[in-house]
């Protein structure tokens, strides 16, 4: 051994020891980073349990998850109910204005259609004349009426049905 030490130059030995020291220092820093990440994960996992009972903490989290699922289920039920109510609302509205009589000078007569998504609703017509005005209401079922419809009323119904979302 003494023979090897006497044959090897001292600077070369110091350089080898220095390289070995740097490599070991690098591995030590890497392990320190890994340990700190692991410690953070453990702290997050044990948060709120004081580290004493992990099983109790997991049960609390599962109970919270069950509560969230129930709340989500209740909200989905409410959304479905509101969707059904919205579909039955008369949200498709159109108006057609026209001049019913030539002696009146403006489009003072009108037909307005108010229809829901099932094509049920009403069409209201107001005919304006110089001497009198009349208002008619005709119910709609499936986009049709049991009463005779004028051209303007049919145009208002078509216009309302074409105003549906997605149409």
pLDDT greater than 80 at residue 49 = no
Token representation of residue 58: 């997991």
The alpha-carbon radius of gyration of the chain (Å, integer) is 41
The average pLDDT across 16-40 equals 94
Instruction: Describe the strand order of the beta sheet including 109-115 as a list of residue ranges.
Output: 92-98, 109-115, 121-128, 133-140
pLDDT at 86: 81
Check: CB of residue 43 under 8 Å from CB of residue 57: no
Query: pTM for the complete prediction?
Result: 0.52
Angle at 139 between CA 138 and CA 144, to 5 degrees: 100
What is the distance between the terminal CA atoms of the chain, rounded to a whole angstrom?
95
pLDDT at 167: 43
The H helix count followed by the E strand count for the chain is 4, 4
pLDDT greater than 60 at residue 125 = yes
Closest by CA to 151, choosing from 109, 108, 90, is 109
pLDDT, tens only, 57-67: 778 889 999 99
- Which residues pair with residue 124 across a beta bridge? 112, 137
Mapped onto helix, strand or coil, the DSSP state of residue 20 is helix
SS3 content of the chain, % helix, strand, coil (to 5): 55, 20, 30
pLDDT, tens only, 66-114: 999 999 999 999 999 998 888 777 778 999 998 887 776 678 899 999 9
């Amino acid at each position: 051994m003494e023979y090897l030490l006497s044959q090897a130059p001292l600077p070369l030995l110091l350089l080898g020891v220095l390289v070995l020291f740097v490599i070991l220092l690098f591995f030590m820093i890497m392990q320190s980073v890994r340990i700190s990440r692991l410690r953070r994960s453990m702290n997050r996992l044990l948060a709120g349990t004081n580290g004493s009972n992990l099983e109790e903490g997991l049960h609390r989290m599962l109970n919270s998850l069950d509560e969230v699922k129930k709340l989500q289920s209740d909200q989905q039920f409410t959304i479905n109910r509101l969707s059904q109510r919205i579909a039955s609302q008369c949200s498709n509205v159109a108006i057609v204005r026209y001049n019913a009589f030539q002696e009146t000078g403006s489009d003072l007569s009108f037909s307005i259609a108010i229809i829901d998504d099932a094509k049920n609703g009403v069409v209201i017509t107001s005919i304006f004349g110089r001497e009198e005005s009349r208002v008619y209401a005709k119910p709609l079922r499936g986009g049709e009426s049991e009463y005779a419809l004028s051209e303007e009323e049919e145009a208002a119904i078509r216009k309302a049905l074409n105003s549906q979302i997605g149409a």
